[in-house]
Amino acid sequence: MALSFSLEHTDADSKARAGKITTAHGEISTPIFMPVGTAGSVKAVTQQQLYQEVKAQIILGNTYHLYLRPGIEILNKAGGLHGFMHWDKPILTDSGGYQVFSLAQSRKIKEEGVLFQSHIDGSRHLFSPEKVMDIQRNIGADIIMAFDECPPGQSEYNYAKNSLMLTQRWLDRCINHLNSTEPLYGYEQNLFPIVQGNQFHDLRKMSCEYVASKQAPGNAIGGLSVGEPEAVMYEITALCCEHLPADKPRYLMGVGTPWNILECISLGVDMFDCVMPTRNGRNGMLFTTNGVINIKNKKWADDFTPIDEGLPNEISHYYTKAYLRHLFVAGELLGLTIASLQNLCFYLWLVSEARKEIIKGTFTSWKNAMTEQLKQRL
């Protein structure tokens, strides 16, 4: 069964939408945030906690990391990533394009693909569109991403254009290779192409039209949240949403803060992923319904109120700010788990509230008030 998307409600005052994605591993209510499980684990969180506390509907894995460790042979023997990590809901895998450009020790971009050295042991590898499709076949995610070039955020027009042309040729090779191979685990995998084009409107528009012409089950916007001003990110996101099909889910890759997510929902984005809730959580930065907390701050030392009373999750009520601060100060691993859970619970709560507000027809006013509230530094 291929992925399908049904639109349930479109906001009158914005481009926000509420919908439902159906995959072989179940349904996803949109807008949705996808916790990042880079190497087969959402860091510091158990799968039980992802199901029961976070109520994650889909998680993300990363082709580059999974290819290096545990490797394709192990994943294949395990029946794919679902079996390997024992996760029965939908999974999306990033193509590794972004990682080979940002993580690998050295890399050489050719028409054929990208030659790179592993950040772990310096070993040499080639990622081509075909290779990346084969790897993603073995990982077995429900949604798989096209292999794209990710040019630096500050690229000149000509570099950006040449890069986009390469990404488009690679997209065709991804599609061709995927069409000539079969899924390995008995269910369909769905390729999402990625829009590139940096901050150049004509390139973004061209990319959207090219991507749209492929009639993929969903489409992604890449190359944002890489250092550009927020206003530029919103402007390009709005432009891409306008030119991407309305009847397919739109996935904005790697974005972002809670208020970035609210704003981009209002622009028509349906799917998000970001390492921010887990990474910032491990550094002691908490996102709460009242604003942002640096839990290491001395001011929380004797604050015995719950971490976040505004969330329905047990973890947010069970532990106090004073206790969580103590765990961070004492270097206790439990602190990393609680902070990661708080932030993931918050992100999942935020998108589910957004969805309710869209359906109620009150999204825009709610978003504006919520944005002020969430940005506060407590």
Q: In angstroms, rounded to a whole number, what is the distance separating the alpha carbons of residues 131 and 63?
A: 11
State yes or no: is 273 an active-site residue.
Answer: yes
Decide: is 300 part of the binding site for a copy of itself (CB under 8 A): no
Q: Among residues 311 and 338, whose Cβ is nearest to a copy of itself?
A: 338
For residue 338, state whether it binds a copy of itself (rule: CB under 8 A). Answer: yes
Q: Is the bond preceding residue 31 a cis peptide, omega within 30 degrees?
A: yes
In the bound complex, what is the minimum distance in angstroms from residue 60's beta carbon to a copy of itself?
15
Q: Decide if residue 202 touches a copy of itself (CB under 8 A).
A: no
Binding of a copy of itself at residue 320 (CB under 8 A)? Answer: yes
Applying CB under 8 A, does 70 fall inside the site for a copy of itself?
A: yes
Q: Which residues neighbour 12 within 8 Å (Cβ) at sequence distance 6 or greater? A: 361
Q: Rounded distance, CA 52 to CA 81, Å?
A: 20
Question: 11, 94, 142, 303: which is the annotated catalytic residue?
Answer: 94
1 binds a copy of itself (CB under 8 A): no
Do the bridges between strand 285-288 and strand 291-294 make them parallel or antiparallel, or are there none, so unpaired? Answer: antiparallel
Q: Which stretch binds a copy of itself (CB under 8 A): 130-138, 330-338, 351-359, 367-375?
A: 330-338
Angle between helices 333-360 and 321-329 (to 10 degrees): 140
Which residue in 11, 142, 270, 273 is the catalytic one?
A: 273
Q: Closest CB to a copy of itself among 47 and 162?
A: 47
Question: Do the Cβ atoms of 255 and 274 come closer than 8 Å?
Answer: yes
* Binding-site member from 16, 28, 45, 203 for a copy of itself (CB under 8 A): 45
Contact characters 76-105, a copy of itself, x per CB under 8 A: -xx----xxxx-------------------
Comparing CA positions, the residue from 331, 170, 192 lying closest to residue 271 is 192
Residue 333 makes contact with a copy of itself by CB under 8 A: yes
Which lies closer to a copy of itself via its Cβ, residue 219 or residue 280?
280
The full DSSP string for 245-284 is: -TTS-EEETT--SHHHHHHHHHTT--EEE-SHHHHHHHTT
Query: Would you count residue 110 as binding a copy of itself (CB under 8 A)?
Result: no
Phi-psi group of 284: left, alpha or beta (phi > 0 → left; psi -120 to 50 → alpha; rest → beta): left
Nearer to a copy of itself (CB atom), residue 7 or residue 78: 78
Binding-site entries: 94-98, 148, 196, 223
Rounded Cα gap, residues 172 and 193, in angstroms: 10
Following CA atoms 54, 277, 224, 170 in sequence, which dihedral angle do they give, to the nearest 10 degrees? -60
DSSP string, 279-332: HHHHTTEEEETTEEEETTSGGGTT--SBS-TTS--HHHHHSBHHHHHHHHHTT-
Q: Which stretch binds a copy of itself (CB under 8 A): 16-24, 221-229, 327-335, 361-369?
A: 327-335
Q: In this structure, how many other beta carbons lie within 10 angstroms of the beta carbon of residue 364?
A: 17
For residue 186, the minimal CB distance to a copy of itself (Å) is: 18
- Given the rule CB under 8 A, which residues bind a copy of itself? 39-48, 65, 69-70, 73-74, 77-78, 83-86, 301-302, 304, 314-315, 318-320, 322-323, 326-327, 329-330, 332-338
Active site residues: 94, 273
